[in-house]
Structure 1
Amino acid sequence: MIDNIVNNRANKLFVLLGGFFIANALIAEFIGVKIFSLEQSLNIEPVSLSFFGVDNLAFNLTAGVLLWPFVFVLTDLINEYYGSRGVKLLSFLTAGLIIYAFAMIYTGIHLAPADFWPQSHINPALSAAEQQAITAKVSDYDYAYGLVFGQGLWIVVGSLTAFLVGQIIDVMVFQRIKHYTGERFIWLRATGSTLVSQFIDSFVVLFIAFYIGADWGLSLVLAIGIVNYLYKFTMAMALTPVLYLAHGLIERYLGHEQAAEMKLAARQGH
Protein backbone atom coordinates (compact mmCIF):
# COMPACT_ATOMS: atom_id res chain seq x y z
CA MET A 1 0.00 0.00 0.00
CA ILE A 2 2.75 2.46 0.97
CA ASP A 3 4.78 1.47 -2.08
CA ASN A 4 1.78 2.22 -4.27
CA ILE A 5 1.61 5.76 -2.85
CA VAL A 6 5.35 6.43 -2.87
CA ASN A 7 6.06 4.99 -6.31
CA ASN A 8 2.96 6.32 -8.08
CA ARG A 9 3.44 9.90 -9.28
CA ALA A 10 -0.27 10.67 -9.40
CA ASN A 11 -0.70 9.55 -5.79
CA LYS A 12 2.36 11.48 -4.63
CA LEU A 13 1.10 14.58 -6.38
CA PHE A 14 -2.29 14.28 -4.67
CA VAL A 15 -0.60 13.96 -1.27
CA LEU A 16 1.61 16.97 -2.02
CA LEU A 17 -1.24 19.19 -3.25
CA GLY A 18 -3.53 17.98 -0.47
CA GLY A 19 -0.89 18.63 2.18
CA PHE A 20 -0.36 22.22 1.04
CA PHE A 21 -4.14 22.68 0.71
CA ILE A 22 -4.81 21.59 4.30
CA ALA A 23 -1.78 23.43 5.73
CA ASN A 24 -2.72 26.71 4.03
CA ALA A 25 -6.34 26.48 5.20
CA LEU A 26 -5.35 25.71 8.81
CA ILE A 27 -2.71 28.44 8.98
CA ALA A 28 -5.13 30.95 7.44
CA GLU A 29 -7.66 30.19 10.18
CA PHE A 30 -5.15 30.75 12.97
CA ILE A 31 -3.43 33.89 11.67
CA GLY A 32 -6.77 35.32 10.55
CA VAL A 33 -7.42 36.77 14.00
CA LYS A 34 -5.05 39.64 13.14
CA ILE A 35 -6.40 42.56 11.12
CA PHE A 36 -3.69 44.39 9.19
CA SER A 37 -3.56 47.51 7.05
CA LEU A 38 -2.59 46.64 3.49
CA GLU A 39 -1.73 50.23 2.65
CA GLN A 40 0.50 50.76 5.69
CA SER A 41 2.20 47.41 5.06
CA LEU A 42 3.02 48.62 1.54
CA ASN A 43 3.95 52.12 2.78
CA ILE A 44 1.30 53.82 0.68
CA GLU A 45 -1.45 56.25 1.54
CA PRO A 46 -4.67 54.58 2.76
CA VAL A 47 -7.55 54.67 0.31
CA SER A 48 -10.89 56.11 1.33
CA LEU A 49 -13.70 54.12 -0.25
CA SER A 50 -17.43 54.50 0.26
CA PHE A 51 -20.10 51.81 -0.23
CA PHE A 52 -23.71 51.63 0.96
CA GLY A 53 -23.32 54.86 2.93
CA VAL A 54 -20.27 53.64 4.84
CA ASP A 55 -17.39 56.07 4.37
CA ASN A 56 -13.62 55.99 4.91
CA LEU A 57 -13.25 52.31 4.09
CA ALA A 58 -9.67 51.13 3.64
CA PHE A 59 -8.04 47.77 3.02
CA ASN A 60 -7.99 46.57 6.62
CA LEU A 61 -7.92 42.84 6.07
CA THR A 62 -7.63 39.65 8.06
CA ALA A 63 -4.15 38.15 7.81
CA GLY A 64 -5.79 34.97 6.54
CA VAL A 65 -6.33 36.59 3.13
CA LEU A 66 -2.60 36.13 2.50
CA LEU A 67 -3.14 32.38 2.20
CA TRP A 68 -6.70 31.89 0.96
CA PRO A 69 -5.87 32.80 -2.67
CA PHE A 70 -3.37 29.94 -2.71
CA VAL A 71 -6.02 27.59 -1.29
CA PHE A 72 -8.25 28.37 -4.26
CA VAL A 73 -5.36 27.92 -6.72
CA LEU A 74 -4.73 24.51 -5.17
CA THR A 75 -8.46 23.81 -5.41
CA ASP A 76 -8.37 24.44 -9.16
CA LEU A 77 -5.28 22.26 -9.65
CA ILE A 78 -6.81 19.39 -7.70
CA ASN A 79 -10.08 19.85 -9.59
CA GLU A 80 -8.20 19.74 -12.90
CA TYR A 81 -6.41 16.45 -12.28
CA TYR A 82 -8.52 14.65 -9.65
CA GLY A 83 -12.01 16.01 -10.23
CA SER A 84 -14.63 17.33 -7.85
CA ARG A 85 -14.45 14.21 -5.69
CA GLY A 86 -10.83 14.96 -4.88
CA VAL A 87 -11.65 18.55 -3.96
CA LYS A 88 -14.64 17.59 -1.83
CA LEU A 89 -12.63 14.92 0.00
CA LEU A 90 -9.94 17.44 0.95
CA SER A 91 -12.47 20.17 1.73
CA PHE A 92 -14.45 18.09 4.20
CA LEU A 93 -11.25 16.65 5.67
CA THR A 94 -9.92 20.19 6.13
CA ALA A 95 -13.15 21.37 7.75
CA GLY A 96 -13.01 18.45 10.16
CA LEU A 97 -9.38 19.20 11.02
CA ILE A 98 -10.18 22.88 11.60
CA ILE A 99 -12.96 21.91 14.03
CA TYR A 100 -10.57 19.50 15.75
CA ALA A 101 -7.85 22.18 15.94
CA PHE A 102 -10.19 24.73 17.49
CA ALA A 103 -11.41 22.14 19.99
CA MET A 104 -7.81 21.47 21.05
CA ILE A 105 -7.07 25.21 21.24
CA TYR A 106 -10.19 25.72 23.36
CA THR A 107 -8.95 22.96 25.68
CA GLY A 108 -5.48 24.52 25.81
CA ILE A 109 -6.90 27.94 26.70
CA HIS A 110 -8.76 26.51 29.68
CA LEU A 111 -5.82 24.57 31.11
CA ALA A 112 -4.55 26.07 34.36
CA PRO A 113 -1.24 27.84 33.61
CA ALA A 114 1.91 27.06 35.55
CA ASP A 115 2.61 29.72 38.17
CA PHE A 116 5.62 31.13 36.32
CA TRP A 117 4.17 31.07 32.79
CA PRO A 118 1.98 34.24 32.73
CA GLN A 119 5.17 36.30 33.29
CA SER A 120 7.57 34.03 31.39
CA HIS A 121 7.82 36.47 28.46
CA ILE A 122 9.65 38.96 30.68
CA ASN A 123 13.42 38.46 30.62
CA PRO A 124 14.96 39.07 34.08
CA ALA A 125 18.19 40.10 32.37
CA LEU A 126 16.51 43.21 30.94
CA SER A 127 16.56 46.53 32.70
CA ALA A 128 13.60 47.62 34.79
CA ALA A 129 12.60 50.10 32.09
CA GLU A 130 12.70 47.41 29.37
CA GLN A 131 10.67 45.03 31.54
CA GLN A 132 8.13 47.76 32.19
CA ALA A 133 7.85 48.45 28.45
CA ILE A 134 7.07 44.77 27.84
CA THR A 135 4.48 44.51 30.61
CA ALA A 136 2.85 47.70 29.33
CA LYS A 137 2.07 45.77 26.16
CA VAL A 138 1.45 42.29 27.58
CA SER A 139 1.13 41.95 31.33
CA ASP A 140 -0.28 38.41 31.39
CA TYR A 141 0.98 35.89 28.82
CA ASP A 142 -1.82 33.43 29.60
CA TYR A 143 -4.50 36.08 29.09
CA ALA A 144 -2.91 37.14 25.80
CA TYR A 145 -2.81 33.50 24.68
CA GLY A 146 -6.53 33.12 25.23
CA LEU A 147 -7.29 36.50 23.67
CA VAL A 148 -5.40 35.70 20.46
CA PHE A 149 -6.45 32.10 19.94
CA GLY A 150 -9.92 32.24 21.48
CA GLN A 151 -11.89 33.27 18.42
CA GLY A 152 -15.62 33.66 18.93
CA LEU A 153 -17.96 30.80 18.05
CA TRP A 154 -19.74 32.80 15.34
CA ILE A 155 -16.44 33.63 13.65
CA VAL A 156 -15.49 29.97 13.56
CA VAL A 157 -18.93 28.96 12.27
CA GLY A 158 -18.90 31.72 9.65
CA SER A 159 -15.40 30.89 8.48
CA LEU A 160 -16.09 27.16 8.16
CA THR A 161 -19.43 27.69 6.41
CA ALA A 162 -17.91 30.17 3.97
CA PHE A 163 -15.02 27.80 3.27
CA LEU A 164 -17.25 24.82 2.45
CA VAL A 165 -19.77 26.85 0.46
CA GLY A 166 -16.94 28.52 -1.45
CA GLN A 167 -15.30 25.21 -2.25
CA ILE A 168 -18.50 23.60 -3.51
CA ILE A 169 -19.30 26.60 -5.71
CA ASP A 170 -15.73 26.70 -7.01
CA VAL A 171 -15.98 23.05 -8.05
CA MET A 172 -19.35 23.51 -9.74
CA VAL A 173 -18.34 26.62 -11.71
CA PHE A 174 -14.98 25.10 -12.68
CA GLN A 175 -16.57 21.92 -14.04
CA ARG A 176 -19.34 23.82 -15.82
CA ILE A 177 -16.86 26.09 -17.63
CA LYS A 178 -14.65 23.12 -18.51
CA HIS A 179 -17.68 21.29 -19.91
CA TYR A 180 -18.10 24.04 -22.49
CA THR A 181 -14.45 24.91 -23.16
CA GLY A 182 -12.74 21.52 -22.87
CA GLU A 183 -9.00 21.79 -22.30
CA ARG A 184 -8.84 25.35 -23.62
CA PHE A 185 -8.85 28.52 -21.55
CA ILE A 186 -7.28 27.32 -18.31
CA TRP A 187 -7.41 30.88 -17.03
CA LEU A 188 -11.15 31.13 -17.63
CA ARG A 189 -12.21 28.08 -15.65
CA ALA A 190 -9.63 28.56 -12.88
CA THR A 191 -9.84 32.31 -12.40
CA GLY A 192 -13.56 32.45 -13.22
CA SER A 193 -14.47 29.79 -10.65
CA THR A 194 -12.28 31.50 -8.04
CA LEU A 195 -13.85 34.90 -8.64
CA VAL A 196 -17.37 33.51 -8.23
CA SER A 197 -16.58 31.40 -5.16
CA GLN A 198 -14.58 34.19 -3.49
CA PHE A 199 -17.47 36.60 -4.00
CA ILE A 200 -19.81 34.23 -2.13
CA ASP A 201 -17.15 33.46 0.49
CA SER A 202 -16.53 37.16 1.22
CA PHE A 203 -20.13 37.83 2.19
CA VAL A 204 -21.05 34.51 3.84
CA VAL A 205 -18.33 34.76 6.49
CA LEU A 206 -19.17 38.38 7.33
CA PHE A 207 -22.93 37.77 7.37
CA ILE A 208 -22.68 34.83 9.79
CA ALA A 209 -19.82 36.10 11.97
CA PHE A 210 -20.85 39.73 12.31
CA TYR A 211 -24.41 40.33 11.06
CA ILE A 212 -25.78 37.35 13.01
CA GLY A 213 -23.05 36.96 15.62
CA ALA A 214 -22.22 40.60 16.44
CA ASP A 215 -25.30 42.62 15.37
CA TRP A 216 -23.47 44.60 12.70
CA GLY A 217 -25.66 46.57 10.34
CA LEU A 218 -26.30 45.07 6.91
CA SER A 219 -24.82 48.12 5.15
CA LEU A 220 -21.55 47.74 7.07
CA VAL A 221 -21.35 44.01 6.29
CA LEU A 222 -21.96 44.63 2.59
CA ALA A 223 -19.48 47.50 2.45
CA ILE A 224 -16.67 45.54 4.12
CA GLY A 225 -17.52 42.52 1.97
CA ILE A 226 -16.98 44.58 -1.19
CA VAL A 227 -13.61 45.86 0.07
CA ASN A 228 -12.52 42.30 0.88
CA TYR A 229 -13.67 41.08 -2.52
CA LEU A 230 -11.77 43.83 -4.33
CA TYR A 231 -8.59 42.50 -2.76
CA LYS A 232 -9.46 38.87 -3.56
CA PHE A 233 -10.40 39.79 -7.13
CA THR A 234 -7.04 41.50 -7.62
CA MET A 235 -5.14 38.56 -6.13
CA ALA A 236 -7.03 36.03 -8.26
CA MET A 237 -6.06 37.91 -11.40
CA ALA A 238 -2.47 38.34 -10.22
CA LEU A 239 -2.08 34.62 -9.51
CA THR A 240 -3.17 33.54 -13.00
CA PRO A 241 0.46 33.25 -14.22
CA VAL A 242 1.23 31.14 -11.13
CA LEU A 243 -1.56 28.79 -12.16
CA TYR A 244 -0.06 28.34 -15.63
CA LEU A 245 3.37 27.76 -14.11
CA ALA A 246 1.93 25.11 -11.76
CA HIS A 247 0.18 23.40 -14.68
CA GLY A 248 3.45 23.32 -16.61
CA LEU A 249 5.35 21.80 -13.70
CA ILE A 250 2.65 19.18 -13.11
CA GLU A 251 2.52 18.23 -16.80
CA ARG A 252 6.29 17.86 -16.81
CA TYR A 253 6.25 15.79 -13.62
CA LEU A 254 3.44 13.45 -14.69
CA GLY A 255 4.22 13.33 -18.39
CA HIS A 256 1.75 14.59 -20.97
CA GLU A 257 0.15 11.18 -21.53
CA GLN A 258 -0.60 10.47 -17.88
CA ALA A 259 -1.68 14.07 -17.29
CA ALA A 260 -4.14 13.86 -20.20
CA GLU A 261 -5.56 10.57 -18.87
CA MET A 262 -6.01 12.06 -15.39
CA LYS A 263 -7.74 15.17 -16.69
CA LEU A 264 -10.09 13.08 -18.81
CA ALA A 265 -10.91 10.82 -15.85
CA ALA A 266 -11.43 13.88 -13.62
CA ARG A 267 -13.76 15.41 -16.18
CA GLN A 268 -15.80 12.25 -16.67
CA GLY A 269 -15.96 11.37 -12.97
CA HIS A 270 -16.45 14.98 -11.80
Structure 2
Amino acid sequence: MNTVSYRLIVVAALFVTALITANIIAVKLIAVGSDIVLPAAILVFPLSYIIGDILTEVYGFAWARRVIWLGFMCNLLFVFFAWIGGLLPGASFWGGQAAYETILGYTPRLLLASFCGYLIGSFSNAAIMSRMKILTRGRHLWSRTIGSTVIGEGLDSAVFITIAFIGTPAFAPIFIVYHWAAKTMIEVVATPVTYAVVNYLKGVEQVDTFDVGVSLNPFGLAEAKT
Protein backbone atom coordinates (compact mmCIF):
# COMPACT_ATOMS: atom_id res chain seq x y z
CA MET A 1 0.00 0.00 0.00
CA ASN A 2 1.78 3.12 -1.21
CA THR A 3 -0.62 5.84 -0.04
CA VAL A 4 -2.25 6.43 3.33
CA SER A 5 -6.03 6.57 3.14
CA TYR A 6 -8.18 8.53 5.57
CA ARG A 7 -9.72 5.22 6.67
CA LEU A 8 -6.33 3.97 7.85
CA ILE A 9 -5.88 7.22 9.78
CA VAL A 10 -9.30 6.73 11.40
CA VAL A 11 -8.42 3.15 12.40
CA ALA A 12 -5.09 4.32 13.85
CA ALA A 13 -6.81 7.12 15.78
CA LEU A 14 -9.33 4.68 17.24
CA PHE A 15 -6.49 2.37 18.27
CA VAL A 16 -4.64 5.15 20.13
CA THR A 17 -7.85 6.43 21.73
CA ALA A 18 -8.78 2.99 23.03
CA LEU A 19 -5.29 2.51 24.45
CA ILE A 20 -5.14 5.84 26.32
CA THR A 21 -8.74 5.54 27.52
CA ALA A 22 -7.97 2.10 28.95
CA ASN A 23 -4.99 3.45 30.88
CA ILE A 24 -7.08 6.26 32.39
CA ILE A 25 -10.06 4.21 33.53
CA ALA A 26 -7.94 1.25 34.69
CA VAL A 27 -7.70 2.82 38.17
CA LYS A 28 -11.30 1.87 38.88
CA LEU A 29 -11.81 -1.71 39.98
CA ILE A 30 -15.11 -3.40 39.26
CA ALA A 31 -16.60 -6.47 40.89
CA VAL A 32 -17.61 -9.37 38.68
CA GLY A 33 -19.60 -11.68 40.89
CA SER A 34 -18.48 -12.09 44.46
CA ASP A 35 -14.85 -13.13 44.01
CA ILE A 36 -13.53 -11.61 40.78
CA VAL A 37 -12.18 -8.06 40.63
CA LEU A 38 -11.15 -6.52 37.31
CA PRO A 39 -10.12 -3.02 36.19
CA ALA A 40 -12.73 -0.98 34.33
CA ALA A 41 -10.28 -0.94 31.41
CA ILE A 42 -11.32 -4.52 30.71
CA LEU A 43 -14.22 -3.00 28.76
CA VAL A 44 -12.11 -0.97 26.34
CA PHE A 45 -8.58 -2.40 26.24
CA PRO A 46 -9.62 -5.43 24.14
CA LEU A 47 -10.80 -2.91 21.55
CA SER A 48 -7.17 -2.04 20.86
CA TYR A 49 -6.52 -5.72 20.06
CA ILE A 50 -9.58 -5.92 17.82
CA ILE A 51 -8.40 -2.82 15.95
CA GLY A 52 -4.89 -4.29 15.83
CA ASP A 53 -6.35 -7.41 14.20
CA ILE A 54 -8.13 -5.25 11.63
CA LEU A 55 -4.94 -3.30 10.88
CA THR A 56 -2.90 -6.44 10.33
CA GLU A 57 -5.59 -8.27 8.36
CA VAL A 58 -6.32 -5.40 5.96
CA TYR A 59 -3.17 -3.28 5.80
CA GLY A 60 -0.49 -5.76 6.89
CA PHE A 61 2.05 -6.13 9.67
CA ALA A 62 4.18 -3.17 8.55
CA TRP A 63 1.32 -0.74 9.13
CA ALA A 64 0.25 -2.46 12.34
CA ARG A 65 3.83 -2.11 13.59
CA ARG A 66 3.83 1.63 12.89
CA VAL A 67 0.51 2.13 14.67
CA ILE A 68 1.61 0.08 17.70
CA TRP A 69 4.65 2.32 18.07
CA LEU A 70 2.47 5.39 17.52
CA GLY A 71 0.23 4.22 20.35
CA PHE A 72 3.26 3.73 22.58
CA MET A 73 4.59 7.23 21.88
CA CYS A 74 1.16 8.87 22.35
CA ASN A 75 0.68 7.05 25.64
CA LEU A 76 4.15 8.08 26.78
CA LEU A 77 3.38 11.71 25.88
CA PHE A 78 0.12 11.56 27.81
CA VAL A 79 1.78 10.10 30.90
CA PHE A 80 4.59 12.68 30.77
CA PHE A 81 2.25 15.67 30.69
CA ALA A 82 -0.07 14.12 33.27
CA TRP A 83 3.00 13.90 35.53
CA ILE A 84 3.96 17.51 34.76
CA GLY A 85 0.39 18.61 35.48
CA GLY A 86 0.57 16.93 38.87
CA LEU A 87 3.75 18.80 39.76
CA LEU A 88 2.38 22.23 38.92
CA PRO A 89 1.11 24.20 41.94
CA GLY A 90 -2.66 24.16 42.17
CA ALA A 91 -4.84 27.23 42.63
CA SER A 92 -5.51 28.14 46.26
CA PHE A 93 -9.21 27.29 45.93
CA TRP A 94 -8.67 23.98 44.07
CA GLY A 95 -9.03 20.90 46.24
CA GLY A 96 -8.64 18.17 43.66
CA GLN A 97 -4.93 17.38 43.95
CA ALA A 98 -5.46 14.07 45.74
CA ALA A 99 -8.08 12.99 43.20
CA TYR A 100 -5.80 14.05 40.33
CA GLU A 101 -2.93 11.98 41.70
CA THR A 102 -5.22 9.00 42.32
CA ILE A 103 -6.52 8.97 38.75
CA LEU A 104 -3.53 10.25 36.77
CA GLY A 105 -0.59 9.45 39.03
CA TYR A 106 1.48 6.47 37.87
CA THR A 107 4.22 4.74 39.83
CA PRO A 108 7.36 3.82 37.83
CA ARG A 109 6.65 0.14 38.44
CA LEU A 110 3.11 0.33 37.05
CA LEU A 111 4.31 2.31 34.05
CA LEU A 112 6.99 -0.28 33.29
CA ALA A 113 4.44 -3.08 33.64
CA SER A 114 1.94 -1.30 31.40
CA PHE A 115 4.42 -0.46 28.65
CA CYS A 116 6.05 -3.90 28.63
CA GLY A 117 2.71 -5.72 28.59
CA TYR A 118 1.39 -3.51 25.80
CA LEU A 119 4.41 -3.88 23.52
CA ILE A 120 4.88 -7.62 24.02
CA GLY A 121 1.18 -8.40 23.73
CA SER A 122 0.45 -6.11 20.77
CA PHE A 123 3.42 -7.23 18.68
CA SER A 124 2.73 -10.89 19.45
CA ASN A 125 -0.88 -10.42 18.42
CA ALA A 126 0.06 -8.73 15.12
CA ALA A 127 2.82 -11.22 14.29
CA ILE A 128 0.55 -14.24 14.85
CA MET A 129 -2.23 -12.63 12.79
CA SER A 130 0.24 -11.98 9.98
CA ARG A 131 1.67 -15.48 9.81
CA MET A 132 -1.65 -17.27 10.34
CA LYS A 133 -3.12 -15.38 7.40
CA ILE A 134 -0.45 -16.83 5.14
CA LEU A 135 -0.85 -20.32 6.58
CA THR A 136 -4.64 -20.25 6.21
CA ARG A 137 -4.40 -18.58 2.77
CA GLY A 138 -6.64 -15.79 3.96
CA ARG A 139 -9.47 -18.09 5.04
CA HIS A 140 -11.04 -18.57 8.49
CA LEU A 141 -10.55 -15.03 9.80
CA TRP A 142 -12.08 -16.04 13.13
CA SER A 143 -9.24 -18.49 13.75
CA ARG A 144 -6.69 -15.70 13.34
CA THR A 145 -8.46 -13.07 15.43
CA ILE A 146 -9.18 -15.44 18.30
CA GLY A 147 -5.90 -17.36 18.07
CA SER A 148 -3.77 -14.21 18.04
CA THR A 149 -5.78 -12.75 20.93
CA VAL A 150 -5.37 -15.85 23.07
CA ILE A 151 -1.58 -15.48 22.81
CA GLY A 152 -1.34 -11.68 22.72
CA GLU A 153 -3.77 -10.98 25.54
CA GLY A 154 -2.33 -13.84 27.55
CA LEU A 155 1.18 -12.43 27.30
CA ASP A 156 -0.05 -8.91 27.98
CA SER A 157 -1.89 -9.96 31.14
CA ALA A 158 0.93 -12.17 32.39
CA VAL A 159 3.64 -9.55 31.85
CA PHE A 160 1.62 -6.65 33.29
CA ILE A 161 0.37 -8.39 36.43
CA THR A 162 3.70 -10.07 37.13
CA ILE A 163 5.79 -6.90 36.83
CA ALA A 164 3.22 -4.71 38.60
CA PHE A 165 2.39 -6.91 41.56
CA ILE A 166 4.88 -9.75 42.10
CA GLY A 167 6.34 -9.59 45.58
CA THR A 168 3.34 -7.68 46.93
CA PRO A 169 0.26 -8.97 48.81
CA ALA A 170 -1.86 -8.04 45.77
CA PHE A 171 -0.15 -10.57 43.52
CA ALA A 172 -2.15 -13.70 42.71
CA PRO A 173 -1.53 -15.75 39.55
CA ILE A 174 -5.27 -16.39 39.22
CA PHE A 175 -5.69 -12.69 38.36
CA ILE A 176 -3.75 -13.36 35.15
CA VAL A 177 -6.31 -15.99 34.21
CA TYR A 178 -9.21 -13.65 35.00
CA HIS A 179 -7.76 -10.86 32.85
CA TRP A 180 -6.89 -13.20 30.00
CA ALA A 181 -10.27 -14.93 30.00
CA ALA A 182 -12.28 -11.70 30.11
CA LYS A 183 -10.31 -10.04 27.29
CA THR A 184 -10.48 -13.15 25.11
CA MET A 185 -14.22 -13.47 25.66
CA ILE A 186 -14.76 -9.89 24.48
CA GLU A 187 -12.76 -10.65 21.31
CA VAL A 188 -14.90 -13.73 20.64
CA VAL A 189 -18.15 -11.82 21.14
CA ALA A 190 -16.91 -9.04 18.85
CA THR A 191 -16.02 -11.45 16.01
CA PRO A 192 -19.07 -10.56 13.85
CA VAL A 193 -18.19 -6.85 14.15
CA THR A 194 -14.57 -7.60 13.22
CA TYR A 195 -15.75 -9.50 10.13
CA ALA A 196 -18.00 -6.61 9.09
CA VAL A 197 -15.29 -3.97 9.45
CA VAL A 198 -12.63 -6.09 7.72
CA ASN A 199 -14.92 -6.87 4.78
CA TYR A 200 -15.92 -3.22 4.48
CA LEU A 201 -12.33 -1.94 4.50
CA LYS A 202 -11.12 -4.57 2.06
CA GLY A 203 -13.92 -3.63 -0.28
CA VAL A 204 -13.54 0.14 -0.24
CA GLU A 205 -9.74 0.14 -0.02
CA GLN A 206 -9.35 -2.61 -2.63
CA VAL A 207 -6.54 -4.10 -0.54
CA ASP A 208 -6.01 -7.46 1.16
CA THR A 209 -2.43 -7.64 2.38
CA PHE A 210 -0.48 -10.88 2.70
CA ASP A 211 2.83 -10.38 4.51
CA VAL A 212 4.87 -12.74 2.36
CA GLY A 213 8.51 -11.95 3.04
CA VAL A 214 7.72 -9.10 5.44
CA SER A 215 9.97 -8.94 8.49
CA LEU A 216 8.27 -9.34 11.87
CA ASN A 217 11.02 -7.40 13.61
CA PRO A 218 9.12 -4.93 15.86
CA PHE A 219 11.93 -2.37 15.52
CA GLY A 220 11.92 -2.32 11.71
CA LEU A 221 9.69 0.64 10.90
CA ALA A 222 10.29 0.34 7.18
CA GLU A 223 8.43 -2.29 5.16
CA ALA A 224 11.49 -4.48 5.21
CA LYS A 225 11.66 -7.84 3.51
CA THR A 226 13.24 -10.90 5.02
> What is the alpha-carbon root mean square deviation over aligned residues?
1.9
Deviations 1:231-251 (A, max 9, x none): 112112111111111123223
Give the counterpart letter for 1:21 in structure 2. Answer: F
Give 1 or 2 for the bigger CA radius of gyration: 1
Which residue of structure 2 aligns with residue 158 of structure 1? Answer: 113
Per the alignment, residue 259 of structure 1 pairs with 207
Cα shift at 1:18: 0.3
Aligned mate of 2:180, from 206, 225, 229 = 229
Task: Name the structure 1 match of 2:219.
Answer: none
Work out the CA distance in 2 between the residues paired with 1:227 and 1:190: 20
Percent identical among aligned pairs is 21
Task: Decide which structure has greater helix share.
Answer: 1
TM-score (norm 2): 0.88
Please tell me the residue identity of whatever aligns with 1:151. Answer: Y
User: Is 1:202–1:225's contact at 8 Å kept on the other side of the alignment?
Assistant: yes
Query: In 2, Cα distance between the equivalents of 1:182 and 1:87?
Result: 19
3-state DSSP of counterpart to 1:36? strand
Aligned residues: 214
- Letter of the 2:103 counterpart: V
Q: Contact 1:203–1:221 (CA<8 Å) still a contact in 2?
A: no
Where do 4+ consecutive residues of structure 1 move more than 3 Å? 266-270
2:75 to 98, 103, 120: 98
User: Residue by residue, what CA displacement relative to the aligned partner does 1:185-229 show, whole Å, maximum 9, x if unpaired?
Assistant: 000111110111101111100011111xxx2269x4311111111
Matching residue of 1:117: 94
1:121 aligns with none
* Comparing 201-210 and 81-90, the one that deviates more: 81-90
Secondary structure, aligned partner of 2:88: coil
- Give the equivalent residue in structure 1 for 2:45: 68
Q: 2-side partners of 1:107 and 1:250: how far apart? A: 39
Distance in 2 between residues matched to 1:223 and 1:233, nearest whole Å? 15
Pairing 1:48-197 to 2, within 5 Å after superposition:
57-58=35-36, 60-118=37-95, 141-197=96-152
Deviations 1:54-89 (Å, cap 9, x if unpaired)?
Answer: xxx41x111111111111111011101221111111
Q: How does 1:5-44 map to 2 (within 5 A)?
A: 11-39=5-33
Unaligned runs of 5+ in 1: 40-45, 47-56, 119-140
Structure 1: distance between partners of 2:106 and 2:123: 25
| Partner of residue 216 from structure 1, selected from 164, 168, 177 | 168
Contact 2:68 2:119 in 1 (8 A): yes
5+ residue gaps, structure 2 = 216-226
- Give the secondary-structure state (helix, strand or coil) at the position aligned to 1:117: coil
